[in-house]
Structure 1
Amino acid sequence: MSLFFFLSGFNFSSWTSRIPTIKSALDLNEAELGSVLLSMPISSLIGLPLSGWLVSKFETRKPLAVGFLLNSVMLAFIGLAPSPVALVAVLFMFSLSMRVFNIAINTQAITLQKQTDKKINGSFHGLWSTGGIVGIAFTTLLVSLKVEMVPHLLIVSAISLVATVVAYQYLLRHDVAPAKSKVRFGKPDPFILYLGLLVFFSAVCEGGMFDWSGIYFQEVVGEEVFTAGYLIFMSFMALSRFISDKIIDALGVPTTYVFSAFLIFTGIMLAILFPTFWPAMIGFSMVGFGTASVIPMTYVLAGTSDKYTPGMAISLIVTFGIVGMLIGPPMIGYLAHAFSLKVSFISFAVAGLMLIPISKLFFKMQNR
């Protein structure tokens, strides 16, 4: 399971760190790039019912492995896309497969945490971020060596395909969840609503940083090695996730949400007000540290639902994250095209601050 978390981050950062390359190769402006990026969250949203059904119907290792295999194949095709339309089609399938294995692997992680009675979910997400760091570092090396995007993504795809076949046998077995209440349309469940909104605003920040941090460093900070900002963001995200369980034990979950919000807001504003190399690097590191705990911490809370199975609860929560991804990266593109990329990043600061009132409402409801 650890290997899949690592490779998931490695694959994802390998694609996102090449976004500036794709933008230049296809001659896209910020608004056009935002429109292309819309295909991913739309695909995830479409695939959500399928993902929830698969993890409640089968052992989670099966949709995890199939989804990851398809995702690895699509990663190779991203570099081969000859036009924006072709890229949209490939990203659609890339995101759909990513949605399936993400829900499956997070369900496995929460099941294992319950079996061991230890807080390990944050460490698993730390492995995802570590994979992301390795992916960005690998991309940085290849960019500095003038290696083209196509062979780069083909290498990553091949590694992932082989690793999936080897690691499949070590995943959890016989974890089909017992039936609980099915999703019914009507008045939103406050438990799911508040946790979903926390994931939503975190996804706006996290997804936007994934897709636009490289371009920010390229166009606003003016760095030739544009992966520097993305790398520092992912590095501090990984650091935070490896120690997040200890931070949560020391501060408590409610205070951790407030602490995360403070770091996101301060880091973004620092990068906006002082758009030079070191202030932006420090700011992006704070944002990475701040966003890291929110999603894994919220997934664990979702797994305590009395109404839904862990897989179904996570699937519902992920819906909000998908909408955040739907709004975040394209919104930055449109705002940057209308105003400037620097001004558009203010939306991340606002999204970070929203974690405070929403988390307070959730815990107030829980304490009744």
Structure 2
Amino acid sequence: MTAAPARASERSTTDPAVRAASRAVFAVFVLNGFNFSSWAARLPAVRDGLGLTPSRIGVLLLIGSIGSLLALPLSGLLVTRLGAPRTVLGFAILNASGLTLASIGVAAGQVAVVGIGLVMYGVGTGVWDAAMNLEGALVEQRLGRTVMPRYHAGFSVGTAAAAGVAAIAAWLQVPVVVHLPVVVVLSTLGVVLAVRQFLPTPTGHGASAQVGGPNLHAPSEGRLRRAFGAWLEGRTLLIGLVVLAAALTEGSANDWVALAVVDGFGKDNAVGALTFGLFVTAMTAMRFLGTALLDRYGRVVILRLCSGLALAGLLLFALVSEDMMWLALVGVVLWGMGAALGFPVGMSAASDDPLRAAARVSVVSTIGYSAFLAGPPLLGMLAQHVGYRHALLAIAIPVVIGLGVIRAAAPVRANLAQ
């Protein structure tokens, strides 16, 4: 018996407005990934332009992550008040403005200006991310089938496209202060067009179900109480643990797999980069494949499968001997597939009850993003003592913990029936 998302009527699954909104959400995910990768791919030029040591560039990146983490707890309240279209657009503009200011700081050699820009970028990214996930969950419910993993695959597509553009810009020696403002202006125009196709956000009592939050006319203290009350909900916190494990599994590969290949297997930088590309490819493919698997077998079964794949992949990559690189690459593929679905399925699970979706998604997103904040420096410190490959074994602990609480992600109606 499958535990698919609550089904909308057959009429709504073929509604042209819902299909248009689905395409728009996919586009917004792509553009979010595009902005992220446009900055990340130019980090070598940023480092050189500012003359930073590796530790100082790490601190600079941490500043942007803190901006996201501080903004995320308020994201549910913002979406409830403004609606998803205006929230996505407003914070996409803040995201783009922050990257533009950071690029100006790089050109001027002013680390403080870059830091201010990254705080703006982090706040914009965090709220934009939460709002687009809420809209994606609403569209998914109206479609009556699983599509959230496909939206997150769109993010991966955006990162790959931006990396290609950034590589060309670097090869042509285009300054960061020219490259970033141009691409983020274009991506913001794309967001302007996309949000026009989002599902309408009515006001009044209907707003609760549409935007996933409390009545807009409720007293401010009531909205605040409901927004932050989600931090006391057991199911929401357990879903957050599932997302935390997935975020650590994905983020550890983003940060360390290339270095682990270079240092742990004695390969050159090109092989390290290709291995990271293999991980991203496996994760993106699983996100496209996962929509059908989730509808057929349900969240709990597929999330358990993904946890098993991630655990097997991590163990293979970390423990095989240095002369068995081919087996380590098999591990990377399994690792990528296992990391693919925890985050998007967690967003869907947090949105099962439209009335509380905004508050719950903000909680789950905050817990998940804390992994991106704390994970890299902790693994880095561990790697100094045991090496990159063996340090990655630490990720197995949250994967096992997440595996133990996966049933919390079962659809609400399934939980009530048990």
Per the TM superposition, whether the score is higher than 0.5 is yes
Could you tell me which residue of structure 2 aligns to residue 68 of structure 1? 92
Query: Residue 121 of structure 2 is aligned with which of 85, 94, 119?
Result: 94
Shift of 1:342: 2.8
For 1:305 and 1:121, how far apart are their aligned partners in 2?
16
For 2:253 and 2:124, how far apart are their aligned partners in 1?
22
Could you tell me which residue of structure 2 aligns to residue 51 of structure 1? 75
Could you tell me which residue of structure 2 aligns to residue 294 of structure 1? 342
5 Å matches for 1:92-171? 92-142=119-169, 149-171=176-198
Could you tell me which residue of structure 2 aligns to residue 234 of structure 1? 280
- Which 10-residue stretch deviates more, 209-218 or 114-123? 209-218
Shift of 1:84: 5.2
In 2 relative to 1, CA 362–89 (structure 1 residues): closer, same or farther, beyond 3 Å?
Answer: same
Query: Residue 354 of structure 1 is aligned with which of 401, 404, 414?
Result: 401
Q: What TM-score, normalized to structure 2? A: 0.76
Provide Cα deviations, 1:223-258, integer angstroms capped at 9, x if missing partner.
247543332222222211111121223433212122
In 2 relative to 1, CA 209–95 (structure 1 residues): closer, same or farther, beyond 3 Å?
Answer: farther
- Which 10-residue stretch deviates more, 82-91 or 263-272? 82-91
Q: What is the number of residues matched between the two proteins?
A: 366
Could you tell me which residue of structure 2 aligns to residue 188 of structure 1? 232
In 2 relative to 1, CA 144–267 (structure 1 residues): closer, same or farther, beyond 3 Å?
Answer: farther
Aligned-partner residue type, residue 335 of structure 2: V
For 1:326 and 1:227, how far apart are their aligned partners in 2?
23
In 2 relative to 1, CA 115–367 (structure 1 residues): closer, same or farther, beyond 3 Å?
Answer: closer
- Contact kept in structure 2, 1:113 and 1:119, CA below 8 Å: yes
Could you tell me which residue of structure 1 aligns to residue 13 of structure 2? none
Aligned-partner residue type, residue 302 of structure 1: A
In 2 relative to 1, CA 101–185 (structure 1 residues): closer, same or farther, beyond 3 Å?
Answer: closer
Could you tell me which residue of structure 2 aligns to residue 253 of structure 1? 299
Aligned-partner SS, 1:345: helix
For 1:360 and 1:76, how far apart are their aligned partners in 2?
43
| Largest Rg, 1 or 2 | 2
Could you tell me which residue of structure 1 aligns to residue 312 of structure 2? 266
In 2 relative to 1, CA 143–237 (structure 1 residues): closer, same or farther, beyond 3 Å?
Answer: farther
For 1:309 and 1:144, how far apart are their aligned partners in 2?
48
In 2 relative to 1, CA 94–143 (structure 1 residues): closer, same or farther, beyond 3 Å?
Answer: same
- Contact kept in structure 1, 2:313 and 2:335, CA below 8 Å: yes
Aligned-partner residue type, residue 28 of structure 1: T
- Contact kept in structure 1, 2:34 and 2:159, CA below 8 Å: yes
Provide Cα deviations, 1:11-48, integer angstroms capped at 9, x if missing partner.
2223333445545664423x544433332332122112
Where structure 2 has 5 or more consecutive residues not aligned to the other structure, the ranges are 1-23, 209-213, 216-224
- Contact kept in structure 2, 1:137 and 1:231, CA below 8 Å: no
For 2:131 and 2:231, how far apart are their aligned partners in 1?
27
- Contact kept in structure 2, 1:229 and 1:284, CA below 8 Å: yes
- Which 10-residue stretch deviates more, 115-124 or 191-200? 115-124
Aligned-partner SS, 1:119: coil
- Contact kept in structure 2, 1:36 and 1:88, CA below 8 Å: yes
Aligned-partner residue type, residue 208 of structure 1: S
Shift of 1:208: 2.9
In 2 relative to 1, CA 110–190 (structure 1 residues): closer, same or farther, beyond 3 Å?
Answer: same
- Aligned sequence identity (%): 23
Q: What TM-score, normalized to structure 1? A: 0.86
Query: Residue 357 of structure 2 is aligned with which of 283, 289, 310?
Result: 310
Aligned-partner residue type, residue 348 of structure 1: I
For 1:270 and 1:205, how far apart are their aligned partners in 2?
14
Shift of 1:121: 1.7
For 1:186 and 1:70, how far apart are their aligned partners in 2?
27
In 2 relative to 1, CA 47–233 (structure 1 residues): closer, same or farther, beyond 3 Å?
Answer: same
In 2 relative to 1, CA 32–352 (structure 1 residues): closer, same or farther, beyond 3 Å?
Answer: farther
- Which 10-residue stretch deviates more, 55-64 or 284-293? 284-293
Could you tell me which residue of structure 2 aligns to residue 333 of structure 1? 380
- Which 10-residue stretch deviates more, 279-288 or 126-135? 279-288
Provide Cα deviations, 1:114-152, integer angstroms capped at 9, x if missing partner.
222222222222211221222233344555666655544
